[in-house]
Structure 1
Amino acid sequence: MARVLVVGAGIAGDTLALLLGRAGWEVTVVEIAPDLRTGGQTVDLRGDSRDVLERLGLLDEVLGRLVPQRGAAWIDRTGRPLATMPVEAFDGNGYVSKEELLREDLARALHDAAGPTVTHRFGETVEELTDTPDGVLAHFRGAPPEEFDLVVGADGAHSRVRRLRFGPEASFRRPLGLAHAWFTLTETPATPGLDGWFLTHNAPGRRSVEARPGHPGTQEVGLTFAAVELPPRHDRAARFALLDEVFADAGWRTAEFLAAARVAPDFALDTFDQIQVPRWYDGRVVLLGDSAWCASPLSGLGTALALRGAAELADALGSAAVSEHPDRLSDALAAFERSMRPRTRAAQRLFPGRVRQAAPVTERGIRVNAWIIRQLQSRPVRKAVGRVAARHGQDPSADGPGPAAAGRAAAR
């Protein structure tokens, strides 16, 4: 039985573990967090996401965990609507789709489906990877070293595996000029309700404040602003101080959100970056998901790429019968990269203006953005935008927001 080490228990890592476990591999998954990560944005079930989950036999389960949503609305600092896009827009494939669930619910479904040949170790990660004649010797933070036939780095945009094997993060990181904080707010009797709407308030100066439905009694909050670098991850005080400074006069419910961020157990803050690695594998070590190709949350394709990438890697390993013929590993990894490169390149080609649309600079830009969103939903404009989206590698029928993505990106 071939042994594989998967570093990272996220969507990509646990999907691969599930598939390889079913194929007879002995799978060890290490995750630096003490437990399965909670929080994260809502993810949709379009295109590749739906196809892979159906293949895994998990589609009905995740469809039972959908978050009820009515659509998206863009509001001013007082909460007055500037534009709306109901969930029915673009036949349910608009900014908010008709089938979305919280990332943590999808992660839990994948994790719980793991079979007896998959072992998870939380609070653990790799510190060193050493090639041997027949595999890779993984040196762990807390456990004794072990040898594996294959090591998969599925540990995100800040991948430790990538740093150990391929080089420093700076060599592969392409900042997009924005940062984003996200966390879960627990409602109280005084919390304003959302009534099923994903609300976005854009403030001048490239700032965005968002709230969308979560589990019953919760709201998922996002704060987006201009930044390329952030205070160190361990310096929470400096990070909260930065948010206080940037959003001091943003209006709407921002003060409430800033206070809630300090007590949220799943608070996270990171920059919007893309990761571009010239080659995803080296010997018996391969990168998967955001570790290899992060397209940034602005693409709307992170989950779909993670699921599809895991499926393509599992298929390549199975097609080459690597578990019986280790000498075929290199060919399998090359086939995996050939199959996924076109998808990731297309995802990283963000529609022109997408970054500026996410956080407009001026009040005029905010108003123009709202006007475009309203116009987008007319039939003639929808057709024209669909044609433009297709020219930029955005398939309106596939995983991404399709024509809606083009429209969201059109504002300046």
Structure 2
Amino acid sequence: MARVLVVGGGIAGDSLALMLGRAGWTVTVAEIAPAPRTGGQTVDLRGDCRDVLDELGLLPAALACLVPQAGAAWIDADERRLAEMPVTAFDGGGLVSREELLRTDLARILHEAAGPNVTHRFGETVDALEDTPDGVLARFRSGTAEEFDLVVGADGAHSRVRALRFGPEEHHRKPLGLAHAWFTLPERPGTPPLDGWFLIHNAPGRRSVAARPGRPGEQEIGLTFATDTLPPRQDREARFALLDRTFADVGWRTAEFLAAARQAEDFALDTFDQIRMPSWHDGRVVLLGDSAWCASPLSGLGTALALRGAATLATALTATALTAPGHLPAAFAVFERAMRPRVTSAQQLPPGRLASVAPETALGIRLNAFAMRALQARPLRPLVRRAMATTEHGRTPSGTPSAA
């Protein structure tokens, strides 16, 4: 029975572990977090997300966790609506889907579905990977070492496995010029309701503040701003200070959000980057999900690529016999041939995508709102539908060119 180490217990890693475990493989998942990760924004169940979850028999569980959605609205500092896009726009193909659930719920569903062949080790990662005649020797941070037939790096855009096997992150990272903070805000008496709407307030200087529906009694908050670099991950105070400086003069509910960020258990902050690599495998080590191909949250396809990538890799691997090492390169080749076109498409952000997320000027903000309204005008609807049909799984029109 093949022994596989999956480094990273996120959507991609747990999906692959579940699939290989069902196929009879012995799977160990090493996750550096001390427990299953929570937090994250909503996940759109259109396209590959729905298809793969249906194949796994987990779609009913995901549908039971849907967050009610009304649509997206762009607002000014007084919460007056500059433009809105309801979930019914473009026959349900707009920015917000009718079927969205929180990433934390999807992660829980995948984690709980793991069978007896899957073992999770929390608070653990790898410090070294050494090839052996029959596999890969993984030296863990805890001080132990074990040999595996295959190692999968599914540990995100800042992948430890990728750094160990394929070189420093800067060799593969393409920064997109924006950073994003996100966290959950518990509603209290007096908290303005969202009524199902994803509200977006843009401020000059490429700054965006957003709130969208979460679980009952919660709102999911996002703060986006222009930068390629951030203070060290362990220096939380420096990160909060950066947010305070950046958004000090932004109106709407921004002061409320900045104060809440410091109290949020699931606060996260990262840059918007893409990971681009000529190959996703080396020997018996292969990368999966954001470790291999991060398209950035701006693509709207990160979870879809993680799920479809896991399914594609699992299918390719289970069609080979790991007892015959020569079969692994063929499995990896099948995996890459299938996923490369999807990844390439997802990484080709529509013109103006960055400007539409965080316009530079007050004029750009107004023009972006005008573009969101104009897209939904009757004469343009057929053109938008045709454009969406040519993109990967109906990418939403939120990346339409903006004159910002």
Q: Which category of TM-score, normalised to the shorter sequence, fits these structures?
A: over 0.9
Q: Which residue of 2 aligns with 1:332?
A: 331
Q: State whether residues 134 and 149 of structure 2, in contact with CA within 8 Å, keep that contact through their aligned partners in structure 1.
A: yes
Q: Provide the alpha-carbon RMSD of the alignment.
A: 1.2
Displacement of 1:143: 4.7
Displacement of 1:325: 3.1
Confirm or deny that 1:394 pairs with 2:391.
yes
> What secondary structure is seen at the aligned counterpart in 2 of 1:239?
helix
Instruction: State the alpha-carbon separation in 2 of the partners of residues 243 and 290 from structure 1.
Output: 25
Q: Which residue of 2 aligns with 1:158?
A: 158
Q: Percent identity?
A: 71
The residue type equivalent to 2:23 in the other structure is A
Deviation readout 1:11-58 (Å, 9 max, x if unpaired): 000000000000010000000001111110101111111110000000
> What secondary structure is seen at the aligned counterpart in 1 of 2:185?
strand
Matches within 5 A, 1:3-402: 3-322=3-322, 324-389=323-388, 394-395=391-392, 398=393, 400-401=395-396
Displacement of 1:381: 1.0
> What secondary structure is seen at the aligned counterpart in 2 of 1:94?
coil
Displacement of 1:169: 0.1
The residue type equivalent to 1:85 in the other structure is M
CA pair 202-388 structure 1, distance change in 2 beyond 3 A = same
The residue type equivalent to 1:327 in the other structure is G
Instruction: State the alpha-carbon separation in 2 of the partners of residues 246 and 132 from structure 1.
Output: 50
Displacement of 1:223: 0.2
Displacement of 1:321: 3.3
CA pair 71-174 structure 1, distance change in 2 beyond 3 A = same
Displacement of 1:230: 0.5
Q: State whether residues 364 and 402 of structure 2, in contact with CA within 8 Å, keep that contact through their aligned partners in structure 1.
A: no
Deviation readout 1:385-406 (Å, 9 max, x if unpaired): 344456xx514xx2532xx244
Q: State whether residues 90 and 385 of structure 2, in contact with CA within 8 Å, keep that contact through their aligned partners in structure 1.
A: no
Instruction: State the alpha-carbon separation in 2 of the partners of residues 400 and 267 from structure 1.
Output: 27
**Unpaired runs of 5+ in structure 2?**
none
> What secondary structure is seen at the aligned counterpart in 2 of 1:260?
helix
Displacement of 1:338: 1.0
Displacement of 1:319: 1.7
> What secondary structure is seen at the aligned counterpart in 1 of 2:326?
helix
**Unpaired runs of 5+ in structure 1?**
none
The residue type equivalent to 2:367 in the other structure is V
Instruction: State the alpha-carbon separation in 1 of the partners of residues 394 and 213 from structure 2.
Output: 21
Number of equivalent positions: 404
CA pair 399-318 structure 1, distance change in 2 beyond 3 A = farther
Displacement of 1:411: 4.7
Deviation readout 1:258-278 (Å, 9 max, x if unpaired): 000000000000000000011
The residue type equivalent to 2:92 in the other structure is G
Instruction: State the alpha-carbon separation in 2 of the partners of residues 61 and 34 from structure 1.
Output: 25
> What secondary structure is seen at the aligned counterpart in 1 of 2:338?
helix
Q: State whether residues 93 and 394 of structure 2, in contact with CA within 8 Å, keep that contact through their aligned partners in structure 1.
A: no
> What secondary structure is seen at the aligned counterpart in 2 of 1:259?
helix
CA pair 195-373 structure 1, distance change in 2 beyond 3 A = same
What's the TM-score once normalised by structure 2's chain length? 0.98
What's the TM-score once normalised by structure 1's chain length? 0.96
Instruction: State the alpha-carbon separation in 2 of the partners of residues 358 and 406 from structure 1.
Output: 8
> What secondary structure is seen at the aligned counterpart in 2 of 1:175?
strand
> What secondary structure is seen at the aligned counterpart in 2 of 1:326?
coil
Deviation readout 1:317-375 (Å, 9 max, x if unpaired): 112233x4333011101110111011000000000010111100111111111111111
Instruction: State the alpha-carbon separation in 2 of the partners of residues 230 and 387 from structure 1.
Output: 39
Deviation readout 1:270-316 (Å, 9 max, x if unpaired): 00000001110000000000000000000000000000000000010
> What secondary structure is seen at the aligned counterpart in 1 of 2:198?
strand
